[in-house]
């Protein structure tokens, strides 16, 4: 199965293409406001408003043989621990080897932002190259997960 942490996810359509190609069930999890897909392999899951409700829904279900798409590092850590393959929206994989560093970097950046409330900026814009890397990475992850 593919689980997509869908709020603010720029690659839902790409994930659906890969899920359809491999005939894999895909869950698109959000707090609402997303248009349902007519694809029978895609199930829209609308969770209650609240912090991390969508993340908890995914974390409670994802495991070995599944692929999770998220930019949320704590959710990624839970899913990696459960044995799922986890990808960022740009195709970068969260793995047992890098998740600890990812969490530490996230915490450091949160501390830096808290120390300087006037700090502006964010990540770079999502590019066509990011989208292409995601498609390739998801394709490989779905194939690998299917063989587990």
Rounded to two decimals, what is the model's pTM?
A: 0.83
pLDDT by position in tens, the chain (length 148): 999 999 878 999 999 999 999 999 999 999 887 888 999 999 999 998 877 888 999 999 999 999 999 988 899 999 999 999 999 999 999 999 887 777 666 556 565 566 666 666 556 677 888 889 999 999 999 999 988 8
**Yes or no: is domain 2-146 CATH 1.10.150?**
no
Task: Using alpha carbons, select from 91, 90, 75 the residue that is nearest to residue 125.
Answer: 90
Q: Where are the domains of the chain?
A: 2-146
Return the number of other C-beta atoms located less than 10 Å from residue 64's C-beta. Answer: 10
């Amino acid at each position: 199965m593919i689980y997509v942490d869908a709020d603010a996810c720029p690659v839902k359509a790409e994930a659906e293409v890969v899920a359809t190609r491999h005939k894999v069930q895909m869950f698109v999890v959000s707090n609402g406001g997303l248009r349902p897909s007519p694809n029978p392999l895609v199930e829209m899951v609308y969770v209650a408003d609240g912090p991390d409700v969508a993340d908890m829904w995914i974390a409670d279900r994802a495991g070995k043989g599944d692929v999770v798409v998220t930019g949320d590092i704590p959710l990624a850590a839970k899913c990696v621990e459960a044995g799922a393959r986890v990808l960022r929206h740009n195709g970068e994989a969260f793995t047992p080897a890098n998740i600890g560093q990812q969490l530490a970097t996230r915490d450091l950046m949160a501390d830096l932002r808290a120390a300087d409330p006037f700090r502006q900026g964010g990540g770079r814009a999502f590019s066509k190259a990011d989208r292409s890397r995601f498609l390739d990475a998801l394709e490989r992850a779905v194939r690998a997960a299917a063989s587990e």
